Amino acid sequence: MILLFVVAVFLLTIFLGVPLVWAILITSVLPIFVFDLGYPLQALYLNFIGGVEPNHFLAIPLFIVAGELMSRGGVGQRIIEFSRALLGFMPGGLGMVVVGASMIFGGISGSAIADSAAIGTVMIRNMARQGYTRAFAAGLVAAAGTIGIIIPPSIPMLIYGFVGNVSVAELFLAGTVPGLMFGLFFMVVCYRVGKSSGCDAGGHYVGWGPLWKSFIGTLPALFMPVLILGGIFSGFVTPTEAAALAVVYGLFVTMFIYRDFKISGLPSLMIDAFVTSAVVMVVIGATSVLGWLITLEQMPQILVSFVQELSSSPWVFLLLVNIVMLVLGLVLDPVPAILLTAPLFLPTAQSFGVDPVHLGVILTCNVAIGLFTPPVGATLYVASRISGVGVLKIARAMAPLYIMALIALALVTYVPAISMSLVYAFR
């Protein structure tokens, strides 16, 4: 009964337009009074503060700063040029450039929004000139940008790892193949659109010389994910230390190698990163309060019993996870969606024998799809703002991308080897 009440109150407050943090806190406080649970309200404050105190959460603002550093200046343009030299000769090549550049940039910034903004600013205009509709170009930018939170380093995976006590290194490793698969599926759509419409039937390969020159120019930026993942997997640094290393490396690359970022721009960058980090940390604090209530009232155990009564098949459980996450993705951003569902789904997943790392990848893929799904999709609105095309028009144009994303999600969900093969190889 209390679990249904909590879910109903949260959804009601969200749909009424209550700010997310207040919706979570209201959902935490109301059951205490309605069901006369007798918990002291001081405990809410203590859990809010305690939720943001762990030192490992320092990795979040540090990765945000590193992403901001690499997304400003000419890094995005260099990645686009390299992707164009690598993929631009194929049918649908310009669309593939968007996907390829988004995958590379996502591995550097870890931010879907920064990815969509950096790539979309240049490529939507270029795709429109080539003959693609602006709606499809914007939709492709919105969808491809979300690969940035599947491919490591991924902030939603980082948070899931901290909240669920799951290895961040294994989560990053597990996200690599699914991220590449999403990108490949989106490229198939680009190939079909470019060839069938005739707007981008393919051109001449630029040759090894220009490709190599473009690769060398992009290499310093490409080395960042190698530095982060290599440091974590080797055990040389923790995820938090890797985030700090990424900030130092990002400063070095943008200021001394590319020389497209000046020290005078650091204050505004830090303010932007601080605002983003503050929003994330406040949400973490609020969800810690709700998580405290969920744990005390044994709601995970209630959910486990309910799902086991419904079906003993892990396939059915994973189907329910996908349905719930896709619905939440319509109204929530990735971070709060992960924070709210991980404490509930993890015990249930373990009861069905689902690996926590595999579950983390499934949750991340779901919230990635939510990012380009109306009405709240963040990358969708970024692409709409850049292109000047309405959100609903973009959503209609990207129907094939939705279909391919759902197929990729189904494969990731029901073929664990896609995400877990690399993890098993290094365990």
Does the N-terminal peptide bond of residue 343 adopt cis geometry, omega within 30 degrees of 0? no
Q: Could you tell me if residue 18 is inside a domain? A: no
- Containing domain of residue 62, as a range? 30-426
With a CB cutoff of 8 Å and minimum separation 6, the contacts of 418 are 177, 178, 181, 411, 412
Residue 395: inside a domain: yes
Choose among 370, 380, 382, 369: nearest CA to 121: 382
pLDDT of amino acid 73: 63
Are the C-beta atoms of residues 153 and 110 closer than 8 Å to each other? Answer: yes
pLDDT class of 170 with cuts at 50, 70, 90: very high
State percent of the chain over pLDDT 90: 22
Check pLDDT > 90 for residue 265: no
Mean pLDDT of 360-387: 89
Q: Measured between alpha carbons, how far is 329 from 109 in angstroms, rounded to an integer? A: 22
CB distance 413 to 322 below 8 Å: yes
Query: Per residue, what are the HEC states of the chain?
Result: CHHHHHHHHHHHHHHCCCCHHHHHHHHHHHHHHHCCCCCCCHHHHHHHHHHHCCHHHHHHHHHHHHHHHHHCCCHHHHHHHHHHHHHCCCCCHHHHHHHHHHHHHHHHHCCHHHHHHHHHHHHHHHHHHHCCCHHHHHHHHHHHHHHHHCCCCCHHHHHHHHHHCCCHHHHHHHHHHHHHHHHHHHHHHHHHHHHHHCCCCCCCCCCHHHHHHHHHHHHHHHHHHHHHHHHHHHCCCCHHHHHHHHHHHHHHHHHHHCCCCCHHHHHHHHHHHHHHHHHHHHHHHHHHHHHHHHHHCCHHHHHHHHHHHHCCCHHHHHHHHHHHHHHHHCCCCHHHHHHHHHHHHHHHHHHCCCCHHHHHHHHHHHHHHHHCCCCCCHHHHHHHHHHCCCHHHHHHHCHHHHHHHHHHHHHHHHCCHHHHHHHHHHC
pLDDT band (50, 70, 90) for residue 413? very high
Is residue 262 a part of any domain in this protein?
Answer: yes
Average pLDDT, integer, range 76-89: 82
Q: Give the pTM.
A: 0.86
Confidence band, pLDDT 50/70/90 cuts, at residue 405 = very high
Q: What is the mean pLDDT of the chain?
A: 86
User: For the segment 312-356, what is each residue's pLDDT rounded down to a tens digit?
Assistant: 788 988 998 999 889 888 878 888 889 888 888 888 888 889 999
Q: Which residue has the tokens 């473009």?
A: 214
| Confidence at residue 184, expressed as pLDDT on a 0 to 100 scale | 95
**Does residue 12 lie in a domain region?**
no
> Which of 40, 38, 13 has its CA nearest to residue 24?
13
| 2 in a structural domain | no
Domain count, the chain: 1
pLDDT reported for residue 221 = 83
What confidence score (pLDDT) does residue 61 get? 86
Distance CA 390, CA 293 (A): 41
With b for 16 or more beta-carbon neighbours within 10 A and e for fewer, the 253-279 pattern comes to bbbeebeebeeeeeeebeeebeebbee
Q: Is the pLDDT of residue 75 over 80?
A: no
For the cut 80, the answer to whether the pLDDT of residue 310 exceeds it is: no
What is the structure's pLDDT at 204? 66
Dihedrals φ, ψ of 142, to 5°? -65, -45
Give the separation between CA 100 and CA 121, rounded to whole angstroms: 15
> The tokens of 13 are what?
């407050």
In a domain, 14, yes or no: no
The tokens for 99 are 């996907």
Q: Is residue 322 situated within a structural domain?
A: yes
Distance between CA atoms of residues 63 and 251, nearest Å: 13
* CA nearest neighbour of 337 among 363, 356, 362, 319: 363
Structure tokens at 92: 């649908």
pLDDT surpassing 80 at residue 396: yes
Over residues 166-174, mean pLDDT: 91
**Distance in Å from the first CA to the final CA of the chain:** 41
Residue-wise pLDDT tens digits, 1-59: 777 888 888 888 878 888 878 888 898 888 888 888 888 888 888 888 888 888 878 88
* pLDDT band with cut points at 50, 70 and 90 for residue 415: very high
Higher pLDDT, residue 109 or 257: 257
Residue 11 lies in a domain: no
Q: How far apart are CA 369 and CA 365, in angstroms?
A: 6
CA pair distance 357, 157, nearest whole angstrom: 9
